[in-house]
Amino acid sequence: MFDRLQSVEDRYEKLNELLSDPDIVSDPEKLKEYSKEQSAIAETVETYREYKEAKKEYDDAKEMLDDKLDPEMREMVKEEIDELAERIGVLEERLKILLIPKDPNDEKNVIMEIRGAAGGDEAALFAGDLYRMYSRYAETKGWKTEVIEEHSTGLGGFKEIIFMINGTGAFSRLKYENGAHRVQRVPETESGGRIHTSTATVAVLPEAEEVEVDIHEKDIRVDTFASSGPGGQSVNTTMSAVRLTHIPTGIVVSCQDEKSQIKNKEKAMKVLRARIYDKFQQEAQEEYDANRKSAVGTGDRSERIRTYNFPQNRVTDHRIGLTIQKLDQILEGKLDEIIDALIVEDQSKKLESVE
- Please check whether residue 290 lies inside any domain of the structure: no
- Within this chain, do residues 196 and 322 fall inside the same structural domain, yes or no? yes
Is pLDDT above 80 for 104? no
- Within this chain, do residues 303 and 205 fall inside the same structural domain, yes or no? yes
- Within this chain, do residues 251 and 185 fall inside the same structural domain, yes or no? no
- Within this chain, do residues 197 and 304 fall inside the same structural domain, yes or no? yes
Mean pLDDT of 67-82: 82
What does the buried/exposed string (b/e) look like for 319-353 if buried means 16 or more CB atoms within 10 Å of the residue's CB? bbeeebeebeebbebbbeebbebbbebbeeebeee
Which uninterrupted H or E stretch holds 148?
A: strand 144-152
Q: Using alpha carbons only, give the angle 304, 179, 106 rounded to the nearest 5 degrees.
A: 140
Which uninterrupted H or E stretch holds 339?
A: helix 336-350
For residue 152, give the nearest of 144, 140, 160 by alpha carbon. Answer: 160
pLDDT value of residue 340: 92
The number of residues in the chain equals 355
- Within this chain, do residues 170 and 318 fall inside the same structural domain, yes or no? yes
Q: What is the pLDDT of residues 11-62, one digit of tens each?
A: 989 998 899 989 888 988 889 888 888 888 888 899 999 999 999 999 888 8
Q: Helix, strand or coil for residue 334?
A: coil
- Within this chain, do residues 203 and 239 fall inside the same structural domain, yes or no? no
Mean pLDDT of 330-349: 90
Q: Helix, strand or coil for residue 304?
A: strand
Which uninterrupted H or E stretch holds 131?
A: helix 120-141
Q: What is the pLDDT of residues 155-169, one digit of tens each?
A: 778 888 999 999 988
CA dist 224 and 90 (Å) reads 59
pTM across the whole model: 0.67
The most confident of the ranges 148-152, 209-213, 235-239 is 148-152
pLDDT value of residue 233: 45
CA dist 175 and 179 (Å) reads 10
Mean pLDDT of 293-314: 71
- Quick one: pLDDT band at residue 342, thresholds 50, 70, 90? very high
CA dist 251 and 279 (Å) reads 10
Between 244 and 181, where is the model more confident? Answer: 181
The most confident of the ranges 74-78, 139-143, 196-200 is 139-143
For the chain, what is the domain count?
3
117 and 123 in contact (C-beta within 8 Å)? yes
- Quick one: pLDDT band at residue 336, thresholds 50, 70, 90? very high
- Quick one: pLDDT band at residue 234, thresholds 50, 70, 90? very low
Q: What is the CATH number of the domain that holds 9?
A: 1.20.58
Domain boundary residue, one of 284, 307, 328:
284
DSSP state of 234: B
- Please check whether residue 245 lies inside any domain of the structure: yes
Q: 26-30, 49-53, 202-206, 344-348 — which is least confidently predicted?
A: 344-348
CA dist 199 and 177 (Å) reads 14
- Please check whether residue 305 lies inside any domain of the structure: yes
